[in-house]
A = this chain, B = another copy of it.
Amino acid sequence: MATRTATQLRAEERDRYDAYLAACPARKLLDRISDKWVSLLLTALAGGPQRYSELSRTIAGVSQKMLTQTLRGLERDGLVTRTVTAAVPVRVDYALTPLGASLLPVMTAIKAWAETNIEAVERAQRAYDQAGA
């Protein structure tokens, strides 16, 4: 128990530091909503409620795991609701809450920015790669 002094101190500082970061919930929330699947899911629900299977088809490329996981997270954050209808094959609908709807414009704006500026970005990339080579 003597081979650690500076290293341990640094680790302790890091822990305290991480704790501080964890104490800043806004940054964590920012990280959570800065997620590909989140933006795609929220915009997918913009047109109204959708079933699980509809979403998986709309998003196209999302795995069961990511779809379920992201939906659970959004439900927990109060951004979407999950409604189960008992039937022969179970039916589950997801819909935006008012809180989720309030985030929608921003998500739409990001998506729109990406679609609008993709060409400019690609031009910049080509120029950058040219200069580098």
Contacts and interface: CB of A to CB of B under 8 A. Distances in A.
Interface of A: 17-18, 21, 25-27, 29-31, 33-36, 38-40, 60-61, 75-79, 99, 102-103, 106, 109-111, 113-115, 117-118, 120-125, 127-129
Nearest to A76: B128
Contacts of A120: 78, 99
Given A61-B17, A125-B78, A30 B99 contact: no
12 contacts: A17-B60, A17-B61, A26-B118, A29-B121, A30-B39, A31-B36, A34-B110, A76-B128, A77-B124, A78-B120, A78-B121, A102-B117
Nearest to A115: B26
- Give the interface centre of A18, A102, A120 by most chain B CB atoms within 10 Å: A120
Contacts of A76: 124-125, 128-129
Given A34-B39, A78-B125, A113 B102 contact: yes
A14 to B, nearest CB: 10
Contacts of A26: 111, 114-115, 118
A78 B25 CA distance: 31
Given A34-B35, A36-B34, A113 B124 contact: no
